[in-house]
Amino acid sequence: MIVERLTLAQRGARLTTTLVVARPRVWRLLRRPFRRYFTRLAPRWDSIVGPGHLDALAAALVEVPPPRRALDVGTGAGAAAFLLAERFPEADVVGVDVSPAMVAAAAAKTRPALAGRVRFLEADAAELPVPSGSFDLVVLANMIPFFDELARVLTARGTLLVSFSEGAGTPIWVPPERLQAELERRGFTSVAGFAAGAATCLLARRGVGGVGP
C-alpha cells in the first residue's frame, strides 16, 4: 500500500489532509502543528521536492487562458508562483502560505525582474485575506484544498489547478474522484486530468458546460 512507503511525518500529513477534506472545521485544531511542521522544513524545502514535481502542472498550464491575476495557495518556497509568472508574463501573481518561514524563503528567491508582479503573503488557506472573485487562476501544488474558499476567490469563469508531485504517493493527496465530486458541487463543470512522470494535475473550470475526461 502507498501509505506504507510514507514516513511517520508524511503519514501525519496524509491523515491531516483526509480529515480536513472530510471535515474542514477540524483545521482549526490542526493548523498550528501543520504550520510548525512546514516551518521546520522551510530551510531545506528545495532539496526535498524532486526536479519534476511541477511537470504535470506545467502541462496543464498550456490549456489555461492567460490570467490577469493568479494565486498560488500553499506556495511553499514559491516554485509554482514563479512558474506562473514565467508562463504568464502579463499576470500579477500572489503566493500564500501558512508558514512565515516558507513565505520568507519564497520572497528571498524572487528575482528583481519579477519583484513588481510577484509577491508572497503569510495567510491561512481556509480564510484567504482577499476579496471574493479576485483571481482568474488559482493553483495548489501539494496542498490541502479548502473547496469553499477556492470557489469564493475565483472569478465566475476562473480556472483551478490542483497538482500532486508524486500522484497518489504524495503525502498531501486527495483522490481525483473526490476532487471532481467536491468541485462539481461548487459549480466547476469542466474537469480534465494531466500526468507527467509521477506527477498529476487536475484542471477545473467554472462557467463552462460539460465535464471533460
Give per-residue pLDDT as tens, 41-51.
998 888 888 77
| β 154-164/199-206 pair status | antiparallel
* Per-residue model confidence (pLDDT) at position 6: 58
Query: Percent of the chain, pLDDT > 70?
Result: 94
DSSP, residue by residue, 83-143: HHHHH-TT-EEEEEES-HHHHHHHHHT--GGGTTTEEEEE--TTS-SS-TT-EEEEEEES-
**Does residue 212 have a pLDDT over 60?**
no
Task: Provide CB contacts within 8 A for 124, sequence distance 6+.
Answer: 31, 98
Which amino acid is located at 17 in the chain? T
CA distances from 156 to 88, 125, 150, 179 (A): 20, 20, 12, 19
Look at residue 213 and tell me if it is in a domain.
no
What pLDDT, on a 0 to 100 scale, did the predictor assign at position 190?
Answer: 78
User: Does residue 200 belong to any structural domain of this protein?
Assistant: yes
In a domain, 98, yes or no: yes
The domain in which residue 197 lies consists of 2-206
Q: What is the pLDDT of residues 170-191, one digit of tens each?
A: 999 999 999 999 999 999 987 8
What pLDDT score does 73 carry? 98
Asked whether residue 210 carries a pLDDT value surpassing 60, the answer given is no
* 145 Cα distance to chain centroid: 7
pLDDT band at residue 79 using 50, 70 and 90 as cut-offs: very high
The domain that holds 118 is classified in CATH as 3.40.50.150
- For 97-143, the pLDDT digits (tens) are 999 999 999 999 999 999 899 999 999 999 999 999 999 999 999 99
Whether the pLDDT of residue 200 is over 90: the answer is yes
pTM for the whole thing? 0.92
The angle that helices 27-41 and 8-22 make with each other, rounded to 10 degrees, is: 150
212 falls within a domain: no
- List residues bridging with 191 in a β-sheet: 204
Sole residue written with cell 495557495: 73
pLDDT classification of 3: cutoffs 50, 70, 90: very low
HSE at residue 72, side-chain half, CA atoms within 13 A, is: 30
**Tally of domains within the chain:** 1
Longest CA–CA span in the chain (Å) reads: 46
Q: Is residue 211 part of a domain?
A: no
Establish if 187 belongs to a structural domain: yes
Residue 59 lies in a domain: yes
pLDDT of residue 163 exceeding 60, the answer is: yes
CA 209-136-60 angle, to 5 degrees, is 70
Contacts of 121 (CB under 8 A, 6+ apart): 94, 95, 96, 103, 129
Mean pLDDT of the chain: 91
Q: Which of 7-11, 53-57, 76-80, 118-122 has the lowest mean pLDDT?
A: 7-11
